[in-house]
Each structure stands twice: as C-alpha cells, then as structure tokens.
Amino acid sequence: MKRRKIILLLAIIAIAGVLYGLYWYYKQPQDIRSAPPQLESTAARIIADFNRDEQVATKKYVDKVILINGKVADIKVESNGTATVFLDGNDPLASVTCSFYNDQAGSLKTVKPGAMIKIKGVCTGKLMDVVFNKCSIVP
Amino acid sequence: MKTGLFIISFLLLTVAAFSQKYFTKNGTVSFQAGTALEDIDATNKSAASVFDAATGQIEFAVLIRGFELRRALMQEHFNENYMESNKYPKATFKGKISNLQSISFQKPGSYPATVSGVLEIHGVKKQVTANGTLQVSGTSVQALAKFPVIINDYNIAIPGIVRDKISQTAVVTVNCTYTPLH
C-alpha cells in the first residue's frame, strides 16, 4: 500500500516535470504590446547615453522594455510588411530606429513627421542608430 | 578660362553623379536553420546597409539581439549560447558588387548582382560570395539575396542534444530597400 503511494507520487512528479519542461519549450516570446515598460526616457536622452558610454547604456537599456518619448523624423512602411519609425535623437549622426510589429503598420497611417509620439519597444543595441524592435504606439 | 570653368563644373557634376550613395536602416535580414524536426527561423527588421553606386562598395550591419525567433527558449539559446550576443553584439558584411558595370542605377529594371566580401559573425571573419538581384526604380533600389552560411565556420558550438534540430547550414535572406543618401 505504502509502495503504491510512493509510485503514484513519483509518477505525478514525473508528469509535472514533463509538463513544466514542455511549457518552457513551447513558451512564446513576451508580447511587448501588452508588457509594462521597465523604463521611460526620451529619444535624445537615449542617444546621449549611448554616445557618452556605450557599455553603461547597454546595461541600462538593452533587452529592456522602454517607453520612448520623441519627435518623429521619418516613417517607413515597406512592401514586405515591415514598419519603422525614426525618432529625432538631437544628433545629426544618430537617431532612434523603432521597428514595429508588422501588424502595427496600420497604426502609423495617421502619424506624420514632426509629431511627438510615445513608442514602447525592446532595445537591441546601437549600430548607427539606437535600435528598438517589437515596437507599438502608446496612446 | 571659360573652358577651364566648364571642365571643372563638368568634373564636379560627374563626381556628384558618380558618388551616389544609397542607404537603409530598416532592411530585413532573416535566416532559416531548421530541419525536418524543428522549424527555426529568425528575422531582423533593422539591418543597416549602405552602398556606393560608383565604386560598388557595400556594407551591412545587424544587431544579433534584433533577431526575432518563434519561441522564448530559442531566443534565449540563440543569444546566450550560440551567438553570445553580449560578447559579439553585431554581425557585419563588407564587400563589393563585382559586376557593377552591368548595372545601371539610372535605368529602372531588375539586375542580377554578385557580391563578394568578408562576413563577420560571432567574431569570426570569412570570405563569402552571394548572388542576388538589384531592383532599380525611380526613387529607390531594392536588394534581394539568398546565400548559405555554414554555422561551423563561425565557431558556433551546437550541443549534441539539439544537433538533429539545427541545420549545419543556415540560409540567409536579405531584403533591403535603399534610398539615396543626400
């Protein structure tokens, strides 16, 4: 009787372990559209931080969900469905590139260069620009 | 004097016309590295690239963390274990369009293009050649290319447990729409 209980318990643990493993294995990446921002900043501040010390800025921003305030410099929606907003970084050489979820392209139709905007996304680092992906507009 | 001025302005104009550079900061670079057991594909929608229509020099750069994968765990393994994106945050390509003379950036059309140069991934540089197409239209140039990358060439260690799921060759696809750089 006792032995049976132990076997049953072990089986439950094993099944729970497998389910837990499968859960992690199939887990989707976080949906940034509904994720709370970890930090709020401005495009100019982000560019200035990366210009001052890229390593420190990388620690501060990269892989984090950031709410960015900035002025729209340009908008690009390409034929393959990608949608990107460039924010003025108050620097002639660098701006902030915000690559949107493809299904958010429609929300950019009414956005015009020069407008102030709030965008949420994940910082991926700096090339010429500081780059964010998984972006969406925050009303 | 007049002839001199004419020659100088002619030279300046041709230099201006020939030093036409094109750039993009929202190019798409993706790869497929799956097998029959597992679909593995990743897309980066903010590739930066610039090329010079006069010399054929062409460069690409992507942030490794900008590749989006289908699952959270794949994304984590890609960054932490395989690409070590903290240590090697970028992949770059620097090369040249080798058949520049058969491409006209003034005449709209679709031109086959061959590009050779150095691809740097995971801190390892390799000479590569890729074939693609340049589609010239009135205001922009679209570059399309597809080429294989042998994962082992770039010192990327794939553990035995997932070896059947990850292809030894990743197929890289490039789709960039360039506009003139003023």
pLDDT tens digits, residue range B93-141?
999 999 999 999 999 999 999 999 999 999 999 999 999 999 999 889 9
Give long-range contacts, CB 8 A cutoff, 24+ apart: A76-81. A76/B26, A76/B177, A77/A105, A77/A108, A78/B26, A78/B28, A78/B177, A79/B177, A80/B28, A80/B175, A81/A105
The answer, yes or no, to whether residue B16 has pLDDT greater than 60, is: no
Paired sense of beta strands B141-150 and B57-63, if any: unpaired
Note whether B72 contacts A79, CB cutoff 8 Å: no
**Contact residues on chain A for B73, CB-CB shorter than 8 A:** 24-25, 27
Distance of CA A39 to the CA centre of its chain: 12
d(CA A136, CA A108): 9
pLDDT classification of B157: cutoffs 50, 70, 90: confident
* A86 in contact with chain B, both atoms CB, cutoff 8 A: yes
**Contact residues on chain B for A24, CB-CB shorter than 8 A:** 72-73
Domains and CATH numbers, chain B: 21-180 (2.40.128.110)
Note whether A127 contacts B63, CB cutoff 8 Å: yes
- Using 70 as the pLDDT threshold, list the residues of chain A that sit under it: none
* B177 in contact with chain A, both atoms CB, cutoff 8 A: yes
Tell me the ipTM for this assembly. Answer: 0.89
* B162 in contact with chain A, both atoms CB, cutoff 8 A: no
Q: Cβ atoms within 10 A of the Cβ of B39, count?
A: 13
Whether the CB-CB separation of B41 and B171 falls below 8 Å is answered with no
